[in-house]
Structure 1
Amino acid sequence: MMFDNKKVDSGTIGYFDTQQENHFFDRKSARIAVAKLSQSISAFANADGGELLIGVEDDKTWRGFASVEDANPLLDTAFDRLKSGYFDAEFLNSDHFPGFVLHLSIERSPSVVYSTSDEAYIRNNAQNKKVTGERLDSLRRSKGDITYESHAIPASLEDLTNSETMIHFMLESDRISEPSEFLRKQGLLIDGNPTVAALLLYSDHPQGQLPHAGIKIYRYETSGEARRDFLSGVPLTIEGPIYTLIRRAEETAQKIIDSIPRLDQGSGLTKIEYPVETLHEILTNAVLHRDYGTRDYVHIKIFDNRIEVESPGRLPANITPQNILDERFARNPLIQRGINRFPDPPNMDIGEGLNTAFQAMERLRLNLPYINESGDHVRVTIPHEPLASPQEAIVNYVRESGRINNSTARTVTKIEQERTIRRYFAELVDAGELAQRGSGRGTYYEIP
């Protein structure tokens, strides 16, 4: 494969020289051994991706390869370890340094990447850390290479098959087989022992064997000019099989939300409101897609102006906060499929949950939830912040872009009716905020 050979000036060199070696960037000598480079490739790919500049000494002296062919062993290492589309390479040359410097851009990998010695590394600040034992298992789970839901638990099969949850499910779903036979056919038994998924779905109290498989709910109040948040009361712990766990947690959280007063101008104290679908879908997603091998709870933190839902485990495989609404990957397919068999399942529309949550916020004209990864957790924040009014959104767009027409205004305001947008334009023109230009289909508006 041919790679770009780019001539760079002193400005580009200066840019790279100012970069500190950190979680996303590292520089290596052209004399680096293949095995050593493979550790860096593994570390960046298993973490959040990053850049490698190969041909720069520790003192930032640029001394590249005598020819691009001399870098072939290192490029072969990248090809051998990384899937197509998850890395890019280019050569840099200049009148200011000898040879060719290899610039590797590595993306976060959807599966665990190993070094030439079959060891896994992860980038931690400016270091490549080897991961073993439980940390390696956690990494493999986060990549979707293994799943904890299929792990066998030495629990009583008789207690599970005679549980109220199991019996109720079998009756409601008209299953004619014996519970143990049903579990076996669904791949929920290993050598006669129930799996994690089996206990979470059908045990009356799975937290007996999986103590962190519950939900913690916290209420934080905001006070003082510095707007500091303080924990109010004792956190609540919700337990039970997943089907009832989600419903109990949702009901408990909603009661707390309903108790939060909100001061609206002209209306006095009113109740704060979030779309019911938003909390339901985000909570359901957190419970169904969390890493059950991580010894921590799902946390729901209710503040005066937002709700935060934290789920143990990083986003799996190729899922990122940026593509999570478009890409699909089930960390716990047995749990997801199993709970969907219950009457009125919480994940009725499999794969559409978060999209539903976002759309519900849009309908109430609230700012959209935002998602970020923090350590080994995923946090979804549901803000209670109104979007700008349609008129404000239109004027703000014109100030930034110079002009606007009816079609663009419908996109900006998320209002589909042309007639409504025409009314807003008329109001803004009468108020002197906008001036109409053109006519017919060529009509647009700008600041007068």
Structure 2
Amino acid sequence: MRQMRFTWPLARRPIRSHYVKRCFMTELKNLIASGESSHLEFKSEQVKPEDVAKEIVSFLNFQGGKILLGVEDDGTISGVSRPDVEEWVINICRNNVVPQIIPGYQKLSIEGKDVVVLDIPTGIAKPYHTQKGDYYIRAGSTARKASREELSRLFQDSGLIHYETTPIASTQVADLNWQRVQDYFLNIHPAQINFKDEDEAARHRLLQNLDILAADGATTVVGMLIFGLQPERHLPQSEVLFAHFKGREISAELLDRKSLTGPLPQVIEDAQRVLSLNLPSASTIEGMKRVEQIIFPDKVLRELIVNALLHRRWGLMGNVRIFLFEDRLQISSPGRLPNGVTIEKMKESTHVPRNPILMKFLQDYHFVEKLGRGIPMVVREMKKLGVREPDFHESGEEFIVTLYRK
């Protein structure tokens, strides 16, 4: 069933125009007729405060939504009669939801009965929980307790914990490429330490201090991504998938396909090289000279490849995908934007790293330089080419960037 969403900003201003109110009421009735969904919940006036809090928390931890008080599960409008309903709702949001919030609130009359519309935004301080300490997420048209994995993702999005420091079971220091480690400490790390001259205890201490090794001696996620001998063996999500299609759809003839594996610095270089080899050469004649035409600037490709790997959610098992079509380039990265970051803010240089330790290593390797400047640069460089502005959007649990070509 198609999900319907409100187009009016409820509770931000009162509805004064009779015409606007009539249109709004029609949309509201249609919304009720469509039934509950991942963004809409019906509640009777007899609902308990803890049950309202559960629904509010699930929406805050999801993508926001609306709760209609005075509507039964089957869509019957039963109405709200209690005179203190607004104070009752605000007290629930203050006392039963942690951290507390102030929801959008509107009371409307439908078929002679009052219905309260609560507008719950996407939470900017995830994860939220009830007064009893229960964390809920939205699953279809119901709220359910978050699983251990889902709760871990919520905490990762909040920046309270970082998946990149998680130890990888059944790994050890022998799973690291010692030549790469030595090169990093000697030539890249600011201290320029001669790693191979240190004794074993000092080596382990250095690796643990940089979160390459965990306290138990296992390799961390970030340690494997940067220095692992075979990262894809332990972290299959580190593989980057490239595909070049002859047409404009994924069903078109496949011209090339690559699976890029290895430590991330190598994968970044390989991805840019594969892309360059697959991009068709174009040129124009200006006067007596042939002038090569740029399809996608190298620094734009590099920025987007690095971003897809740096800012992805490594706890998800999906892969970064780079798809080249005849009219566009599409790069998909697992994980939605971090807490508080919107696409609009991102275009204005807002920078909230999901993986700060990985970012530090990529900075050391000179893949990351001016923080927060990359996306504005991408938009600016593509505008210079006179093509359609790049598209940035979230789809499910992915963030997708699309570059268009002439």
Structure 2: runs of 5+ lacking an equivalent? 1-10
Quick check: 1:295 aligned with 2:317? yes
> What's 1:74 paired with?
89
CA 1:258 to 1:168, structure 2 compared with 1: closer, same or farther past 3 Å?
farther
Deviation sequence 1:334-355 (CA, Å, 0-9, x none) = 100122122xx11122222222
The partner residue of 1:103 within 117, 128, 139 is 117
Q: Offset at 1:176?
A: 4.6
Structure 1: runs of 5+ lacking an equivalent? 386-448
* Structure 2 SS opposite 1:235: strand
The partner residue of 1:187 within 204, 207, 211 is 211
Q: Offset at 1:381?
A: 0.8
Q: Offset at 1:116?
A: 4.4
Q: Is the 8 A contact 1:142 1:313 kept in 2?
A: no
Deviation sequence 1:352-391 (CA, Å, 0-9, x none) = 2222211111222222211111121111111114xxxxxx
Larger radius of gyration: 1
> What's 1:121 paired with?
136
Q: Is the 8 A contact 1:46 1:108 kept in 2?
A: yes
Between the aligned partners of 1:218 and 1:30, the Cα distance in structure 2 is 54
Quick check: 1:354 aligned with 2:375? yes
Q: Is the 8 A contact 1:277 1:356 kept in 2?
A: no
- After TM superposition, the structure 1 = structure 2 runs for residues 82-97 of structure 1, keeping only pairs within 5 Å, are 83=99, 87-94=102-109, 97=112
Between the aligned partners of 2:340 and 2:129, the Cα distance in structure 1 is 17
- After TM superposition, the structure 1 = structure 2 runs for residues 320-331 of structure 1, keeping only pairs within 5 Å, are 320-326=342-348, 327-331=350-354
The partner residue of 2:271 within 240, 244, 249 is 249
* Structure 1 SS opposite 2:346: coil
Q: Offset at 1:15?
A: 2.9
Quick check: 1:305 aligned with 2:327? yes
- After TM superposition, the structure 1 = structure 2 runs for residues 14-413 of structure 1, keeping only pairs within 5 Å, are 14-19=26-31, 20=34, 21-57=36-72, 58-61=74-77, 63-67=79-83, 69-80=84-95, 81=97, 83=99, 87-94=102-109, 97-98=112-113, 101-110=115-124, 111-153=126-168, 154-160=170-176, 163-173=178-188, 174-176=192-194, 178=198, 179-191=203-215, 192-222=217-247, 229-233=251-255, 235-258=257-280, 273-326=295-348, 327-342=350-365, 345-385=366-406
What one-letter code is carried by the residue in structure 2 that aligns with 1:235? R
Between the aligned partners of 2:284 and 2:140, the Cα distance in structure 1 is 44
Q: Is the 8 A contact 2:43 2:70 kept in 1?
A: yes
Between the aligned partners of 2:218 and 2:271, the Cα distance in structure 1 is 29
Q: Is the 8 A contact 2:182 2:194 kept in 1?
A: no
What one-letter code is carried by the residue in structure 2 that aligns with 1:340? Q
Q: Is the 8 A contact 2:156 2:162 kept in 1?
A: yes
CA 1:143 to 1:384, structure 2 compared with 1: closer, same or farther past 3 Å?
farther
Give the fraction of aligned pairs with identical amino acids, expressed as a percent.
22
TM-score (norm 2): 0.81
What one-letter code is carried by the residue in structure 2 that aligns with 1:105? D
Q: Is the 8 A contact 1:7 1:93 kept in 2?
A: no
Deviation sequence 1:12-55 (CA, Å, 0-9, x none) = 43331111333323332222112221221122111211222222
Q: Offset at 1:138?
A: 3.3
Larger displacement relative to structure 2 (182-191 or 353-362): 182-191
Paired positions, count: 372
Between the aligned partners of 1:217 and 1:112, the Cα distance in structure 2 is 34
Q: Is the 8 A contact 1:6 1:92 kept in 2?
A: no
Between the aligned partners of 1:95 and 1:290, the Cα distance in structure 2 is 45
Q: Offset at 1:73?
A: 4.0
What one-letter code is carried by the residue in structure 2 that aligns with 1:240? G
CA 1:30 to 1:208, structure 2 compared with 1: closer, same or farther past 3 Å?
same
CA 1:102 to 1:284, structure 2 compared with 1: closer, same or farther past 3 Å?
same
What one-letter code is carried by the residue in structure 2 that aligns with 1:14? T
Q: Is the 8 A contact 2:246 2:255 kept in 1?
A: no
Between the aligned partners of 1:126 and 1:355, the Cα distance in structure 2 is 37
CA 1:353 to 1:17, structure 2 compared with 1: closer, same or farther past 3 Å?
same
Q: Offset at 1:233?
A: 4.3
What one-letter code is carried by the residue in structure 1 that aligns with 2:277? K
TM-score (norm 1): 0.74
Deviation sequence 1:82-102 (CA, Å, 0-9, x none) = 656x64332425496355x43
* Structure 2 SS opposite 1:244: helix
What one-letter code is carried by the residue in structure 1 that aligns with 2:77? T
What one-letter code is carried by the residue in structure 2 that aligns with 1:103? V
* Structure 2 SS opposite 1:51: strand
